[in-house]
Structure 1
Amino acid sequence: MTDTFARPAPFAVPGRIAVGEQTAAVWRTATLTEIRRETPRTATFRLAVPAWAGHLPGQHLMVRLTAADGYVAQRHYSIASAPDDSGHIELTLDHVEGGEVSGWFHTVARPGDRVEVRGPLSGFFAWPGDRPALLLGAGSGVVPLMSMVRYHRARRLSVPLRMLVSARSPEDLVYARELGAETTPVFTRAAPAGVPVGRLSAAHLAPLLERPPAGGWEAYVCGSNAFAEHASRLLVAAGQPAHRVRIERFG
């Protein structure tokens, strides 16, 4: 099955990168080329997108699936891959209980299947690589942040970048094989021997915010509503200017 799924003018405002209306409005047919398991409930889906105009780290797109009976489901998903000229993008999706679109990807989709995509969308959460970036994510909230990390590495950027990512346990840590010295994991349920367990706290942020880079941090926070609220409050309480905290939340 390829085309169906089994049912179960540019603008600019302060702090936002302009997004072309024409590019954002066009639906394109993308072909699934690869599926990679990340955690027991998370997988990465690589898509070939004809005439993909490119994106910036932090942007997302809309995915649309159409069933044989005409039923349509669509969802917004962050782009996980760094911008490149391969004509491919990657999405990393949790298997959401009862989720029509994520459920199709995790249980039905196979390489060669096709879906419709529209984007890239939103310039507010995009990071162009020109400012120090402090990234805070939880669970699948790490997805757009990992696009930034990959971009930073691929371009060998010298601008400071640090990431703190919260997961329930090492088994639930998305992209665990890729995380490097720029990343500090925080485990809330179970952790390796000698690593404390608990939610993201002021103590995790203090070393970074006490010694900020020249010009200060631009903070990017992504996760559930509860995490986004908690992390952004910690940042502001520790002295991060509120207007330099960008939040993307779900749930």
Structure 2
Amino acid sequence: MNWQNAIITRIETQSLRVKSFFFRLPEPFLFRPGQHVLLRLTAPDGYRAQRSYSIASAPNAGEELELAIERFDDGEVSPFMHDIAQVDDEIEIGGPVGGHFNWTPEDGGPVLFIGGGSGVAPFMSMLRHRAAIVSRVPVVLVFSARLREDLLFFDELSKLAASGDGFSLMVALTREAGAHPFRAGRIDAEFIAGIVGAMRMRVRQVMICGSHPFVEAAAEGTITAGIDPAIIKTERYGATGLQAEVRDLPA
């Protein structure tokens, strides 16, 4: 593992519980969209805590690395990042890590991304890379959040969807009480089946990222909608960071 002391260059609030942290690396590294890094904190007594976070920036985004970090009250790293970390602080970063939950336009399509909450972060890296290389590979992102204010990167995603380059955005809000133009309620097999049918071509790959319960429900709905489990990849997160083992769902 290659560890280096990265400098926080800026912090942007995405929602009440999510902030984007931008880091300048002394030794910028190459990575594939969908990979993650480890953040490691060391206490004065030598105790260390580390968590994995998906990279939200594209591989060609320059020297800054963006991580969208959700605060978990019972976490060891995210409360520090939200409450204490400031611009110009040094944070140990290791990586990149992860060779399974990756996608680039060269891998082909159509592809279906399903993201819940801050699980949209790896898809931002993929979509930003896709836009940077002016790809027209068909991609649909289903983005589920609790409230409208939890729709991370929504303005950027909306602009990408309006570009007419083959990217479509579908939004579901599970707890929004007010009127809105999005799907109300959780995503299910019927909703996913309708999206897959509208894609008109056989889906080549499905990628799902979010909390453990979200991934379980989305994967079950996707399989019920008729998608071959062999083309589904998942990644889960929580207070302990990204799931250590990311693998295809069993048939």
1:82 to 29, 33, 58: 58
The residue type paired with residue 60 of structure 1 is H
Could you list the runs of 5+ residues in structure 1 that have no partner in the other structure? 1-24
Alignment partner for residue 152 of structure 2, among 163, 166, 174? 174
CA contact (8 A) 2:190 2:225 kept: no
Partner of 1:224: 211
Structure 1 length as normaliser, TM-score? 0.85
Task: Tell me the residue number matched to 1:49.
Answer: 25
The corresponding residue for 1:183 is 169
Is 1:110 the counterpart of 2:86 in the alignment? yes
1:70 alignment partner, SS class: coil
Deviation at 1:215, TM superposition (A): 5.5
Per the alignment, in what secondary structure is the counterpart of residue 129 of structure 2? helix
**Aligned residues of 1:223 and 1:250 also touching (Cα < 8 A):** yes
**Within 5 A, what are the aligned runs for 1:210-249?**
210-212=197-199, 214=201, 216-249=203-236
3-state SS in 2 of match to 1:58? coil
Equivalent residues of 2:25, 2:63 under 8 A apart:
yes
Cα distance in 1 for residues equivalent to 2:230 and 2:36: 22
Q: Equivalent residue for 1:136?
A: 114
Change (3 A) 1:85 1:227: closer
* Distance in 1 of aligned mates of 2:194 and 2:184: 18
Residue 237 (structure 2) aligns with: 250
- The residue aligned with 2:35 is 59
**Could you tell me how far 1:100 is from its partner in structure 2?**
2.0
TM-score with structure 2 length normalisation? Answer: 0.85
Displaced runs of 4+ in structure 1, greater than 3 A? 211-215
- Aligned-pair distance for 1:98? 2.9
Q: Which amino acid aligns with 1:159?
A: V
Question: Is the 8 Å Cα contact of residues 116 and 214 (structure 2) preserved in structure 1?
Answer: yes
| Residue identity opposite 1:144 in structure 2 | P
Are positions 1:97 and 2:73 aligned together?
yes
SS of residue paired to 1:156:
coil
1:125/1:208 CA distance change after superposition, 3 Å: same
Please give the alpha-carbon distance, in whole angstroms, between the structure 1 residues aligned to 2:198 and 2:15: 34
Runs (5+) with no aligned partner, structure 2: 162-167, 239-251
State whether residues 68 and 121 of structure 2, in contact with CA within 8 Å, keep that contact through their aligned partners in structure 1. Answer: yes
Q: Output one character per residue of 1:22-65: Cα deviation in whole Å (capped at 9) or x when no partner.
A: xxx11111110010010111110000112222111111111111
Identify the residue that residue 102 of structure 2 maps to in structure 1.
Answer: 126
Identity between Structure 1 and Structure 2 (%): 37
**1:160 corresponds to:** 138
1:206 maps to 193
Say which SS state the counterpart of residue 38 (structure 2) adopts: strand
